[in-house]
Chain A
Amino acid sequence: MKWSEFFTSSVGKKFIMGLTGITLILFLVVHAGLNACIFATLLDENDHGEMFNKAAHFMGSNVIPRLLEIGLFLGIFLHIIQGLVLEFQNRSKRGISYKVNYGNRGSKWYSRSMGLLGTILLIFLILHWVQFWIPSRFTGMEEVTIDGKQVHDLFGLMKTTFEEPWVVLVYVLACISLAYHLLHGFQSAFRTLGLRSNRYLRIVKGLGIAFSILIPLVFALMPISMHFHWVG
């Protein structure tokens, strides 16, 4: 079988979705873990976001995270484009739609709404890039001096960005979309890759539920605690 045949078959396309999905799941752990450094201010009142800014500086300046970032963006775009293509292709297969829908009787609403949830996340991502990633990477931003080094004051940028209530609202809505996207996507990715042993599926399902609740919750707490000045 040719590579092109494999990757254009319906299982091959899903294989890409599953693999990139798991890559993005791993990225979420790194992202949530690093950003959780903002909560260091709760433990040390002299921190003032230093730990977070240092961590962000490391990710932005060290060669390994920068290389991984290229892979990450390839993964994200593959996941988005393939996901949208599959959504439109699959939607076109029915022809005339039913008068009465099967709806939630046989499947969960979020498992049928991965395209919609993913699109909400894409819109959020564009906003998120414009607010944080592009200034830090390309257009430049305010700096602070930590241990004699000039580093981007991403902590300060978070504080000013999350003063706006609508921004906090958009971020929280995106976190809810992410939670439901993961609730189906986490375990579905493993099934797509062929996992069928009940021993492992039980672990994957449990882990998937815990992950889908915890990670979006940690993310959602960031704009909320910034907005209400719980950290700072």
Chain B
Amino acid sequence: MEHYTMNLNLQVWRQKNKQDKGHFDTYQVSNISSEMSFLEMIDVLNERLIREGSDPIAFDHDCREGICGMCSMYINGKPHGPWEGTTTCQLHMRAFRDGDTIVVEPWRAKAFPVIKDLMVDRSAFDRIIQSGGYISVNTGNAVDGNSIPVEKEKADASFAAAMCIGCGACVAACKNSSAMLFVSAKVSHLALLPQGSPERKTRVLDMMAQMDKEGFGSCTNTGACEAVCPKEISITNIARLNAEYISAGLTEDK
């Protein structure tokens, strides 16, 4: 792929803290390499801001290899930017052309309040997981790998759901700010496995109750979540979550 450099016009959301109203600031960045990642481009801008004595842009990032789920930028109207199945850290500047204007916003949802600039508080997801996204068993000694048979198809579907890195792009893209794709991935990955079945009913009821409590919206099956998911979690999981919830909700006596 041909290497090129570009000059860009950035419009970035700046917000001092939770209370601040926030606004967009415009920055010109020049001589950006097409080989840079999007976050490296922001790093270059931040170096300059620090040299100039102004406040660098705060943003979340950790592994920078697309597996931790920390990066969370809403770039030109799409969570994680224009590429499909990609996190912001894996988005590279060759996705853009010289002279482009790029608008960078934080995830927008009341359940994800802005901490500073592009950083949002996603601890609501942690609380949803804490409410039931686990299995509680005394593991004892490690058992033989083949003592619990699992169908290959179910194992694959479970693994595909477990790919969810909890970045929150689904919430950011959903018109209802619903966390259903996230919750459905977490519920599905355990519901499909024999290890998850003892707590299957209470898990789905508790996790959904927590999701509602955190102030996420409900699902209207538009499919925007699936389209932006960096791990390409299927919307089929949401239908599974619905089925799990309805059957548990109509039968559980708790």
Check B224 against A94 for contact (C-beta < 8 Å).
no
> How many residues on B have C-beta within 8 angstroms of the other chain's C-beta atoms?
56
* A15 and B222 form a contact (CB under 8 A): no
- Contact across chains for A95 and B222 when beta carbons are under 8 A apart: no
Binary contact readout A163-196 vs B (1 if CB under 8 angstroms, 0 otherwise):
0000000000000000000001001100111111
Inter-chain contact A94/B239, CB cutoff 8 Å = no
Per-residue 0/1 for B3-29: is the Cβ within 8 Å of any A Cβ (1 yes, 0 no)?
A: 000000001000000000010100000
User: Do B236 and A196 touch across chains, with their CB atoms under 8 A apart?
Assistant: yes
Contacts of B235 in A (CB 8 A): 191
Contact with A191, one of B109, B205, B238, B244 (Cβ below 8 angstroms): B238
Task: Indicate with 1 or 0, residue by residue over B173-217, a CB within 8 angstroms of chain A CB atoms.
Answer: 101111010000000000000000000000001001101100111
Q: Report yes or no: B242 in contact with A99, Cβ–Cβ below 8 A.
A: no
The smallest beta-carbon distance between B4 and chain A, in angstroms, is 25
Mark each residue of chain B from 227 to 254: 1 if its CB lies under 8 Å from any CB of chain A, else 0: 1100000011011111111111110111
At the interface, yes or no: A149 with Cβ under 8 Å from chain B?
no
Q: Interface readout for B128-153 with A: 1 if CB under 8 Å, 0 if not?
A: 00000000000000000000000000
Is residue B54 within 8 Å, beta carbon to beta carbon, of the partner chain?
A: no
Q: How far is the CB of B181 from chain A (nearest CB, A)?
A: 12
Are the C-beta atoms of B223 and A94 separated by less than 8 Å?
no
Set of chain B residues within 8 Å of A95, measured between Cβ atoms:
108-110
Dominant secondary structure of chain B at its interface with chain A? mixed
Total contacting residues, chain A, CB less than 8 A: 42
Let me know if A13 and B218 touch, CB within 8 A.
yes
Contact of B222 among A11, A13, A92, A111 (CB under 8 A): A111
| B contact residues around A12 at 8 Å (CB) | 249
Q: Does A43 contact B (CB under 8 A)?
A: no
Contact partners of B242 in chain A: CB under 8 A: 11, 14-15, 191-194
Note all chain B residues with C-beta closer than 8 A to A105: 77-78, 227
In the complex, are the beta carbons of B252 and A1 less than 8 A apart?
A: yes
Which residues of chain B come closer than 8 Å to A194, judged between CB atoms? Answer: 239-240, 242-244, 246-247
Q: In whole Å, how far is A127's beta carbon from the nearest beta carbon of chain B?
A: 27
A100: contacting residue among B22, B76, B173, B247, CB under 8 A: B76
A1 and B248 contacting across the interface, CB-CB below 8 Å: yes
Report the separation of the CA atoms of residues A224 and B76 in the bound assembly, to the nearest whole angstrom.
45
Which 5 residue pairs of A and B lie closest in terms of their CB atoms, listed nearest first? A194-B243, A106-B227, A100-B77, A10-B218, A90-B176
- Which residues of B are in contact with A by a Cβ distance under 8 Å? 11, 22, 24, 74, 76-79, 103, 105, 108-111, 173, 175-178, 180, 205, 208-209, 211-212, 215-224, 226-228, 235-236, 238-250, 252-254
A residues at B contact (CB < 8 Å): 1, 5-6, 9-15, 86, 89-103, 105-108, 111-112, 114, 184, 187-188, 191-196
